Amino acid sequence: MVRIFSHYLHRQTLLHVLFDLGLILFAVVAVVLSQGDAGASAIPFVASHGLSLAGCMFIINSASGLYQHVHNRSVTESCARALLGLMFGLPLAYAIFSFLPTNTGHRELITLGAMVAVAAVMVHRVYAAHSATQSRIRSRILIFGSGPAAKSVGATLKASDPQAQIVGYLPGPNEESSCIAEDEIIQMNGTLTDTARRLHVNEIVVALSERRGGSMPLRQLLDCKLYGIRVVDIATHFEKTLAQIKISHVNAGWLIFGDGFNQGVVRTAIKRVFDVVSASLIFVAALPVMLVTAVCIKLESAGPVFYRQERVGLNGKPFNVIKFRSMRTDAEKDGKPRWATLNDDRVTKVGRFIRKVRIDELPQLINVLQGDMSMVGPRPERQYFVDELINKIPYFAVRQSVKPGVTGWAQVRYEYGSTVEDSVEKLQYDLYYVKNHTMFLDMLIMLETVAVVLTGKGAR
């Protein structure tokens, strides 16, 4: 894993991004130089046209979900996403190299080369997602512990990171019972440092079920770190592997004394400028869709076009969220708040469609412009549910330390939730966002939101 602007990215994903961008630049340079254009005249051309296309393809691939670290996606789905990317990438390459001014000759051949490079990038995206060669670069991980916590770490690695190779589990000195199969247990020969070096371990995850009474060999763990072996605790492991903060394995001290949770004035000001600019642009672009939606809602059922409901915002301050009405007007005729559920019979036909493609959320851009919401942040909840969840889930109130968002990390990583258990899972992503939020993460979330909208993931 590589940490960029407080956000963890898989090293393999970063290499794929750099390879794809380099492929486009290489293709443009190769075509230009093959036609006899000197390097001096080719450099400005590559800088302007090649980098522009490479940057646009990064956005298209990210929005199509082609850079998501998903190892259980079918080849058919990957091909469908690649074809969707081609629908945007090929016309874009043609437009950039055909219409933008340049002092380099052979425009038609260079344009063709750029379009071939775009197609090659898409082929590489599908190949990289399903090629067995991606497993050759593997990180060797030793799990220090053999109890329930260690078993949870192992299951997480096997399910989410195919590049992780678990070399085994090393029981702690005071662990009385084991949850690990005997053939996966490693017997210590010498010190912990000697064992880790003998097994050529890259990383040690400390997942001890018992840490009292000298269970933690601090000196040996420090020696491992001095020899270049990464040593992480279980909370940090889940943070970087799953991009969430596991409530079951975190404590207040880890949250307080660790890094993150930076809510500085500069960050807040930059985020506000980003919100206003992006919300204004999206509002203008989506205005025709919003007008058609309003007409369809009116034609299907009597009642208002917009639905206003009080939600809890920054620091617990209430505000009225604005959405397109997607339910019947008597959806809560008994006055009791209810979670939205799968195939909810209160949802209208138009409402079901606009929920699937997230059109019902577009009026919240007004909330963003008013300053009640941000483009990215935890989803705002109703006071009734907030009071319930604060009493049942530790650290739930932490998510109110930032403005709620139109989209968020939990929304692109977890499907719609309608239970307390779902709220726990979503909170773990929200805590990760509150702890590590930067403009870099905000932009990644907005790009992934496009992929969620295109696939209708998690809609109810």
How do residues 71-99 score in pLDDT, each as one tens digit? Answer: 667 888 889 889 989 999 999 999 988 87
Q: What is the pTM of this model?
A: 0.84
Tokens of 458: 């998690």
Q: Which of 335, 330, 327 is nearest to 360 (CA)?
A: 327
Q: For residue 40, is pLDDT > 60?
A: no
Which residues lie closer than 8 Å to 381 by C-beta, 6 or more apart?
Answer: 311, 312, 389
Q: Which residue has the higher pLDDT, 285 or 101?
A: 285
Q: Point out the least confidently predicted range of 225-239, 302-316, 343-357.
A: 343-357
The mean pLDDT value of the chain amounts to: 85
Q: Residue 35 in contact with residue 78, Cβ under 8 Å?
A: no
* Positive/negative CA dihedral, 292, 298, 301, 304: positive
Model confidence at 212, pLDDT cuts 50, 70, 90, reads low
| Whole-number Cα distances in Å, 20 to 31, 54, 60, 197, 299 | 17, 8, 12, 35, 47
Residues 164-184, mean pLDDT to the nearest whole number: 87
Q: For residue 41, is pLDDT > 90?
A: no
How do residues 109-143 score in pLDDT, each as one tens digit? Answer: 888 888 999 999 999 888 888 775 555 567 899 99
User: What is the DSSP code string of 199-242?
Assistant: TT-SEEEE--S--SSS-S-HHHHHHHHHTT-EEEEHHHHHHHHH
Q: Point out the least confidently predicted range of 3-7, 73-77, 154-158, 342-346.
A: 342-346
CA distance 77 to 270: 37
Model confidence at 340, pLDDT cuts 50, 70, 90, reads low
Q: Which residue has the tokens 């940057």?
A: 55
* Positive/negative CA dihedral, 248, 252, 258, 262: positive
| Whole-number Cα distances in Å, 11 to 210, 382, 438 | 32, 39, 20
Tokens of 10: 């898989």
Residues 244-248, mean pLDDT to the nearest whole number: 89
CA distance 186 to 195: 9
Q: For residue 38, is pLDDT > 60?
A: no
Q: For residue 145, is pLDDT > 80?
A: yes
CA distance 120 to 24: 9
Q: Which residue has the higher pLDDT, 242 or 45?
A: 242
User: What is the DSSP code string of 125-173?
Assistant: HHHHHH-GGGGGS-EEEEEE--SHHHHHHHHHHHHH-TTEEEEEEE--T
Q: What's the confidence (pLDDT) of residue 379?
A: 92
User: What is the share, in percent, of the chain residues with pLDDT greater than 70?
Assistant: 87
CA distance 118 to 85: 9
Q: What's the confidence (pLDDT) of residue 62?
A: 87
Q: What's the confidence (pLDDT) of residue 127?
A: 87
Q: What's the confidence (pLDDT) of residue 30?
A: 82
Q: Which residue has the higher pLDDT, 47 or 219?
A: 219
Q: Parallel, antiparallel, or unpaired: how do β-strands 2-4 and 7-9 relate?
A: antiparallel
Residues 192-198, mean pLDDT to the nearest whole number: 92
Q: Which of 105, 127, 176 is nearest to 147 (CA)?
A: 176
Q: What's the confidence (pLDDT) of residue 418?
A: 66
Up-side HSE of residue 267: CA atoms within 13 Å toward CB?
A: 16
Which residues lie closer than 8 Å to 23 by C-beta, 6 or more apart?
Answer: 117, 120, 121, 124
Q: What's the confidence (pLDDT) of residue 284?
A: 96
CA distance 220 to 357: 53
Q: Point out the least confidently predicted range of 62-76, 228-242, 278-292, 371-385.
A: 62-76
Q: What's the confidence (pLDDT) of residue 97?
A: 82
Q: What's the confidence (pLDDT) of residue 290?
A: 95
How many other CB atoms are found less than 10 A from the CB of residue 436?
22
Q: Which residue has the tokens 């192992």?
A: 154
How do residues 393-445 score in pLDDT, each as one tens digit? Answer: 999 999 999 999 999 999 888 876 667 888 888 999 999 999 999 999 999 99
